[in-house]
Amino acid sequence: MLDNLRVFIAAVEQQSLTGAALALGMTIATVSRRVQELELRLQCELFQRSNKGLRLTPAGQAYYDETASYIHEVELRLFNLDRSLNSLEGDLRVMAPLNIGRGPLDTFWQGFIRDNPSISLNIVLYDPDDDLLSHQFDIAISSGPQANSSLVQQSLGSITPILVVGPDTSFPLPTNIDELNECSSIAAHLFREWDLVNNGQEYRFCKNHRHVSNDMAITLNLVKAGAGVAMLPLSMVYHEVQSGELVRVLPEWAGKSRDIALLWPKQRSLSIRAQRFREALVLYLAQAPWFNALGR
């Protein structure tokens, strides 16, 4: 019925069926049929037809006065929604965990804005303990399990935490898992408990850490200063391990992998800008040596 009302209003404003057909990109026959269907539905005549053209009946005038502004507003909102969802030009609100968004994704952000100059990024870095739903976002990167039924979740893969130490420590490096207890240790809140795995073996490191921080970047700085061993995600320390700035401890052991996923609200359609972001991130992570991409 709304489509037929739209045709009726166009016929009124164009003052003819021919004009309405041109404005709507329809045939005259289709416009005529739509108006007749609307008259049957409303059980009244909307136009008086003559050789001189169309004239609104009193009922037609009443329906036009009542519905025209509403139909125009709906069309404007649909146009704006279509432009918002289907245009590459516009804002994109992205959320990412602090330890992933700053550092591991530095080159991703640079490449994304270079390849998509019409997209304006609004990036919010958050602590993994934050409530994502308290923020307005188009798409979010999540770390760890998510159990919120109001969010769509697309798994991307995982990141493995590893044990690292600075090259200039004051204690000998452990050669087996039992000697790890003798080492000074540093922990970020997210990795305060070290559950380590090695080919089916599991080990929980339970001693108190000498230094603790709620910021992984601070933990990393303390490790570089030689203050102790820390368990940090490979994404944060990959380049430092490769360059020798950090040394991997007990490389046969690692923490339990932490799942990484993309999230977006169920009630909101994923815009073409968010789709472009998703495609670019999946491609980037598939090539990142510190990421366990699905299917790799």
Q: Which domains are seen in the chain, by residue range?
A: 2-86 (1.10.10.10), 90-159+258-293 (3.40.190.10), 161-255 (3.40.190.290)
Residue type, 84: S
- 242 pLDDT band, cuts 50/70/90, is very high
Tokens of 291: 């990421």
In the chain, beta strands by DSSP E: 47-50, 53-56, 90-97, 119-126, 139-143, 151-159, 161-165, 185-188, 194-198, 201-205, 211-213, 229-233, 247-248, 254-255, 258-265, 292-293
pLDDT at 230 over 90: yes
The whole-number average pLDDT for the span 197-210 is: 89
Convert the pLDDT of each residue in 154-200 to its tens digit. 999 999 999 999 998 888 899 999 899 889 999 998 888 899 999 98
- Evaluate if pTM is beyond 0.75: no
Whole-number Å distance between alpha carbons of 263 and 65: 44
HSE (side-chain half, CA atoms, 13 Å) at 257: 13
In angstroms, how far apart are the furthest CA atoms of the chain?
102
Whole-number Å distance between alpha carbons of 104 and 180: 28
- 67 pLDDT band, cuts 50/70/90, is confident
User: Of 163, 147, 164, which Cα lies nearest the Cα of 259?
Assistant: 147
- 38 pLDDT band, cuts 50/70/90, is confident
